[in-house]
């Protein structure tokens, strides 16, 4: 039996090289996350989270989203890994062992994860096809940005215009969150003087 878009309506089933790599990296991502869930070594868990973030970054690149991929690589893979390693060193945590949960807690957590995955798959089934141009977003919102960016904003970059002007408050909120996170990291890692 041949696979067609009727069986998997939301997946890009045109088997070009980018889609084949995307499926390979998604499969690797599943394997890494299962291994991460079963890991009891703190250092291994931190490195597996970093690897998972790098695989997600590659998936974003294969889906033609380099801006999201750069953000994922810088924040997810690099900064998060550095912060987690620094916190583990600062708190003098043991990298070799972790507390093992009782069997019933493992089963309960697994059931919750499986339930969440099933609900997520059911919701994703109603999403429009990947890359489809007839989605509501491409009917009026994208056309509005393309037609009015040069006149209203005066810059040729659609992405910069959307982030800086059309969605300026959203970008301001994200910048405020990043600023608060940076201040928190500085306060956590600041060396306290002995007289304070």
Q: pLDDT at position 32, please?
A: 93
Sole residue written with tokens 């919102």: 141
Mean pLDDT of the residues in the chain: 79
- Which residues in the chain show pLDDT less than 50? 1-6, 194-196
Hey, what CATH class is 1-131 in? mainly alpha
Q: pLDDT at position 2, please?
A: 42
Tell me the pTM: 0.62
Q: pLDDT at position 13, please?
A: 54
Within 9-133, residue ranges assigned H as helices are: 17-37, 42-62, 66-71, 80-90, 103-125
Q: pLDDT at position 82, please?
A: 84
Q: pLDDT at position 135, please?
A: 77
Tell me the pLDDT tens digit for each residue of 49-91: 999 999 999 998 888 878 788 888 888 888 888 888 888 887 7
Length in residues, the chain:
196
Domain span(s) for CATH 1.20.120 in the chain: 1-131
Please give the Cα distance from 46 to 82 (Å, whole number): 9
Please give the Cα distance from 80 to 165 (Å, whole number): 29
Contact between residue 113 and residue 33 where contact means Cβ atoms under 8 Å apart: no
């Amino acid at each position: 039996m041949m696979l067609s878009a009727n069986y998997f309506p939301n997946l890009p089933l045109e088997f070009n090289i980018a889609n084949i790599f995307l499926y390979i990296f998604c499969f690797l991502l599943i394997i890494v996350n299962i291994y991460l869930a079963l890991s009891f070594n703190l250092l291994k868990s931190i490195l597996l989270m970093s690897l998972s973030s790098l695989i997600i970054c590659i998936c974003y690149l294969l889906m033609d989203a380099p801006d999201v991929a750069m953000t994922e690589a810088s924040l997810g893979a690099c900064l998060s890994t550095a912060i987690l390693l620094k916190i583990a060193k600062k708190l003098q945590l043991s990298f070799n062992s972790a507390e093992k949960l009782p069997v019933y807690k493992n089963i309960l957590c697994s059931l919750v994860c499986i339930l969440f995955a099933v609900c997520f798959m059911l919701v994703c089934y109603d999403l429009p096809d990947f890359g489809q141009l007839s989605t509501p977003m491409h009917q009026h919102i994208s056309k509005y940005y393309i037609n009015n960016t040069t006149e209203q904003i005066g810059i040729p970059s659609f992405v910069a215009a959307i982030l800086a002007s059309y969605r300026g408050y959203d970008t301001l909120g994200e910048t405020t969150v990043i600023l608060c996170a940076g201040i928190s990291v500085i306060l956590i890692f600041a060396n306290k003087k002995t007289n304070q």
